[in-house]
Amino acid sequence: MEQINLSNSHNPDWALFLPAVSSFFIAGLGKQREGENYFDPARIPAAFNGDVECLNFLNSKQGLYTYKWGLYSAGHANLDITKDDACESIIRKREEGTFMLGDSGGFQILKCQWPADWKDPNCPRAMKKRQQVLTWMDEYMDYGMCLDIPSQSLTTYHIKDKKTGTSAHGISTIEEAITATHINNEYFVANRDGRCKFLNVLQGRNHTQSDDWYEEMKKYCDTNVYGDKAFNG
């Protein structure tokens, strides 16, 4: 079958589309490429010659269709980079020259899937996740978003952590969301190793909150304040 290179069809005058890579999709492909017979051979189309790597769009040599840009979320990833994981192979061992933007996982905080008191700089669970996300981003992503606390978290404040019985993220006001994001940003600025370029993120549920958020967070892109540790956009 003829290969379709979708990267070449990108119009430089248009915004760049970054398809969100599904962890479910790459898990099967990764296991297969790492030697596990994950897919029943009877289900693999004959034209694939038994090799589902052709569905890896980040593989310019084998992919039936190729596209060198993508988006992957830390919220879906295995953040332990000390151990090999076949499910993550498509991302961790992707071809040089491809580009991956890392979503930080703020949505997981919003959805109470990373329970912690995020406004407390000494909360051990928040610190562990903060460290994992940054380490993962620096290792595997070209660009990444800072670990911001979505302002929509205010609507999920009532959801309780099953272990502690308290709010699963501790954010009840926009001021607390700003405080928690400052904590994360300061950690990222101080500890990033420079391999991943970081993007500042703006939140707010109305114009006033958004303006306040911008005034609070704009300094993280200021090289006069943070030098080469400053965020990159």
Q: Where are the domains of the chain?
A: 1-102, 104-233
Give CA–CA dist 210/129, Å, rounded.
26
Return the pLDDT at 204. Answer: 95
Q: Say what the pLDDT of residue 3 is.
A: 86
List all residues 6 or more positions away from 230 whose beta carbon is below 8 Å from its beta carbon. Answer: 189, 220, 221, 222, 223
Res 9: pLDDT: 86
Give residue 157's pLDDT. Answer: 87
CA distances from 98 to 23, 42, 70, 112 (A): 18, 32, 8, 32
Q: Which residues of the chain have pLDDT under 70?
A: 1
Q: Is the pTM of this model over 0.75?
A: yes
Helices 207-217 and 174-191 pack at an angle, to 10 degrees, of 30
Whether 34 contacts 89, CB under 8 Å? yes
pLDDT for the residue numbered 10 = 83
